[in-house]
Amino acid sequence: MRFTDDIAEVVEFTAEEAGIRLDVLLASVSGRSRSFAAEVIEEGLVEVNGRIPAKSLKVKKGDLIRMEIPVEEVPSLEPQPVDFDVIYEDENMIVVNKPAGVTVHPAPGSPDGTLVNGLLYRYKIEDYNDFRPGIVHRLDRDTSGLILVARNRDAREKLSSLFLNRTVDKRYLAFCWGTPKFDTMVVDEPIGRHPADRKKMAVREDGRSAKSKFIVKERYKNAFLAEVHIYTGRTHQIRVHAAHIGHPILDDSLYGGKHNRGYKIERQALHSWKLTFKSPFVQKECDFCAPIPHEMELLRERLLILK
């Protein structure tokens, strides 16, 4: 990986947990890969309590961390027509309703046809930094719903800070398997990489703190619709927590197991339907909603008939 001499943004924060490797923490906070974080540390662009650390350093709670994120030298991103709906746009941000099946940004397995390619086809986004211009948070490929996109570098820094400081209220709709005993279920279990399958995450004691709340909205035969509120933003968080409590997301090929049978909708039944936050640009409350996708509405109709 090659860097230019320009700095895209500076991230400063206080470590909330102890015992996490610095490169792992920086990858999570910045939304980059662990290898990216390691190279930034080796370039001397990271300080912990005012000192340049080793990438293997395990942080302590309360450590003051400063990370300069450099601009990467990367091949040009190709604007491409990609199908997605726009919920809202202004000079600073775009709110997109991402369809299931669309990857947010290019990666080794998905070099094009991503949301980023589609955004560059429709808009001028003045935030060229690696393969994620304008992206301040992500959704899994087969999760649909709201994505907040920055239109310039200043907007990216301000919007990223909302997610870093956990001031964005994120609500999802999920069709889950089973018959829950309670109408409200709070799952407060740490999440880390699965010990045997690197594609999966899992609840594990040495993972990072993660908290989700499932509120049952409708009950069906051996299934239910839940509104899910996440207090943290770990990889696959809702899917892992749902499976952990015995109520996996319907048609989740990675975590659903045998419970997928009979509910095939060719995507996981998870939708990011609501984002609420205080705008850093005009100091007013923003509240965006994305309607439930057609295929999930058809699933609901089938479940109501079975009920």
If you average pLDDT over every residue of the chain, what do you get?
89
HSE-CB at 148 with a 13 A cutoff on CA atoms is: 25
CATH code of the domain occupying 85-162? 3.30.2350.10
- Catalytic machinery residues: 140
CATH code of the domain occupying 170-272+298-306? 3.30.2350.10
d(CA 39, CA 43): 6
Domain 2-73 has CATH 3.10.290.10: yes
Per-residue pLDDT of 27-39, as tens digits, reads 888 877 888 899 8
Q: What pLDDT does 260 receive?
A: 63
Q: What pLDDT does 244 receive?
A: 97
Angle at 219 between CA 216 and CA 224, to 5 degrees: 65
Per-residue pLDDT of 196-239, as tens digits, reads 887 889 998 888 889 999 999 999 999 999 999 999 988 899 99
Q: Do domains 2-73 and 85-162 have the same CATH topology?
A: no
Q: Map out the domains of the chain as residue ranges.
A: 2-73, 85-162, 170-272+298-306
d(CA 299, CA 47): 50
Q: What pLDDT does 182 receive?
A: 97
Whether the pTM exceeds 0.75: the reply is yes
Computed on alpha carbons and rounded to an integer, the radius of gyration of the chain in Å comes to: 20
Q: Would you write out the chain's pLDDT as a tens digit for each of its 307 residues?
A: 567 677 878 889 999 889 999 999 998 888 778 888 998 998 889 999 998 898 889 999 999 999 998 877 655 688 999 999 999 999 999 999 999 999 998 775 677 899 999 999 999 888 755 668 889 998 999 999 999 999 998 999 899 989 988 899 999 999 999 999 999 999 999 998 887 887 889 998 888 889 999 999 999 999 999 999 999 988 899 999 999 999 999 999 899 877 666 667 888 999 999 999 999 998 899 999 999 999 999 999 999 988 7
